[in-house]
Each structure stands twice: as structure tokens, then as C-alpha cells.
Structure 1
Amino acid sequence: MPTPHALKRLVFLLCACIALFALNGCAGLFNREDMRVNVAGIEPLEGQGLEMRFAVKLRVQNPNDAPIDYDGVALDLDLNGRAFASGVSSEHGTVPRFGEAVISVPVTVSAWSVARQALGYASGDAVSKVSYAVRGRLAGDMFDGGRFSGEGVIDFPGGAGALGS
């Protein structure tokens, strides 16, 4: 029969081993690379009153060895450094491991956001480039989903942008 002191040491050693294995398992979860997100397209939707609505198509790339399951998407879109549109979707799916998926999110643009953007182009010059930044979140359980961000520039051939002419 082990002594009480030996039993305490055995319990302590067992707890230390369990904690070590648990921390080692969690380290793999935090060693994930960020998702890569780009705007793949924007399509008009029917709006209400003074608001405009669009379906923003996001190309989400998963550079990790595990798929990302999501059940909901939230999105904020900035144009030229100014808040422009936001939206949410209850869409669900999976971004495969070392793969990509296109996710559609309906967004709303207020009349005020459109006016602010138009005032930014009030010089009358043709718009040739528009920079964008997209931020959001794929909702999932504790181990899936996650926040994302991306940015880019949309080039309009010949300087004939949608907001400028």
C-alpha cells in the first residue's frame, strides 16, 4: 500500500502530465494561419427607400491543414478609407483545408455613405482606382470560424469608375 506522501506525488505527477498534454493540444489550435479574404464580386440587390443593397461575394482561402466550418457571416466594407457597407448572413458551409470557398453576404449601403463617397469624388475627375478594406467574422464553434480582414484596389480601365462618371 503506497504511503499518503507517495500517493500525493503520484496524483501531482498525473495532473502535471494531463496539463502538459492539454497545453500541447491547444498549441496546435493557436498555430493557425489567418484566412485570406478578397472581394470576388458585387451584385446589386433590391433596396428600400434611400438605401442600396448589394450581394458581396467573398473569396475565402484557408491556408490551414484543417477545414473551417462556419454558420453565419458578418461583414464590414470600407471604400477609400471610409465606412461604406455592412451586412450579415446566416449562410453556413465549410472552407476546405488548403482550399477556398466563395461566400455571398448581402450588405446595406445608407444614403449617407453614398453621399460621403460621392463628395470624395466631387472634383469631377474620372475615377481610376478605388481601394477597399473588408473585415468580418465567420461564426463557428470555439475551434472553427474566426475573424478575417482583407484589402485591395479595384482598377477601372480608362478611369471610368462607377462612382466617378
Structure 2
Amino acid sequence: MPFFRALLSGRSTRLAAIIAFAALTLNGCAGLFGGDPLRVNVAGIEPIDSQGLEMRFNVKLRVQNPNESAVTYNGVSLDLELNGKPFASGVTDQSGTVPRFGETVVDVPLTVPAFAAVRQAFAFAGAAQSGQIPYVLRGRLAGGFTGGTRFVDQGTLSLPAPGMALP
């Protein structure tokens, strides 16, 4: 019994307990305790300066937290698929917190390699009949006790009808 008293009364044990408690509290372990997943949707896309044959876009993600604990992140990664094929990817070291029952907008620059753009141009020509392009956006908010929070947004993009001008 003296061993356990010494162990529990030691500074290192108290420090470890405080750090563990802080990590659980500050990083929003909603997923660890059965909370709802984050809701992530594309809020906007803006072109940014490109290099070489690449195309680059700034994607604004609206991240909603439907849980009682805030979620802290310190980086974001994204992968975008169109028609089931990789199209673009991006990362940012932006950090912040999604408040409990709150939302925030995160900016992530995406890069579209030249060959992916050419491949998708041919796919768009084939999809012109249906006018629908399926997409999957996968990402991760890095950080936290569990290493991060993963999210997926998927749906279809509607192509303008032939002869119809883009806004």
C-alpha cells in the first residue's frame, strides 16, 4: 500500500493526470464517447494563383460541431474525387477550434494536377448526357487526443445544360 500512496502522491503522476484531463477536455473527444460526427460542407471555391500546368483553388469548408464538446484542430487535409477518380488534394496548417454546438469556416488550398484535369475533361464530356458528376470529398482535421477527426462529404455536381451560359 505505501507503494501506491507514493505513486499517487508523486508529482509526475499528478502532472500526467492533469495533462490527460486537459487533452480530453480541450480536444473535444465527442467521437470517442459516442458523439455525433462533424458536419463538413463546401461553402465556397475561389481560384488562386497557379504554378506551371497545375490549377489551384481555395476551398472554404464550413465545419459544424453538433456536440457538447469543442473540437480543436491544428491542420487540415483534403482529397477530392470526381467520377470515382482522384482529382485534387490539399493541406493547410491552419489551427483553431470548432465550438460546441457551433461552426467555423476553414480555408484549404487545393491543387489539381494537369493530368487529372485532362482526364476529368474527357469524363465530363461523357457525363454531359446525364449532367451529373459524382464527387467525394474526404478530409481530416488533425490534432486532438485521438489524432484527428475524419470527415466525408459526397454528392453530385450538376453540369450546365449544353448551350447554357455559366453565371
Same fold, TM-score > 0.5, yes or no: yes
Matched, 1:147 2:146: no
Q: 1:78 to 1:39 in 2, by over 3 A?
A: same
- Give the direction of change, closer, same or farther, for the CA distance of 1:79–1:27 in structure 2 (3 Å limit): closer
SS of alignment partner, residue 122 of structure 1: helix
User: Equivalent residue of 1:59, what SS?
Assistant: strand
Equivalent residue, structure 2, for 1:108: 111
Alignment of 1:12-51 (within 5 A): 29-51=32-54
2:30–2:68 Cα contact (<8 Å) kept: no
Partner of 1:70: 73
Once the two structures are aligned, what percentage of the paired residues are identical? 53
Alignment-derived partner of residue 14 in structure 1: none
Change (3 A) 1:158 1:51: same
Q: Distance in 2 between matches of 1:122 and 1:144?
A: 40
When residues 141 and 27 of structure 1 are mapped into structure 2, their CA distance, relative to the original with a 3 A threshold, is: closer
Residue identity matched to 1:103: V
Partner of 2:120: 117
SS of the aligned residue for 1:119 comes to helix
Distance in 1 between the 2:95 and 2:103 partners? 14
For the aligned residues, what is the CA RMSD?
3.1
Distance in 2 (alpha carbons) for counterparts of 1:118 and 1:68: 38
Cα distance in 2 for partners of 1:64, 1:48 equals 40
Query: In 1, distance between residues paired with 2:43 and 2:30?
Result: 33
Asked if residue 89 in structure 1 is aligned to residue 92 in structure 2, the reply is: yes
Deviates more, 1:28-37 or 1:39-48: 28-37
Aligned to 2:11: none
TM-score, normalized by length of structure 2? 0.72
Gaps of 5+ in 2: 5-23
Residue aligning to 2:12:
none
5+ residue gaps in structure 1? 1-6, 12-24
Q: How high is the TM-score relative to the length of structure 1?
A: 0.73
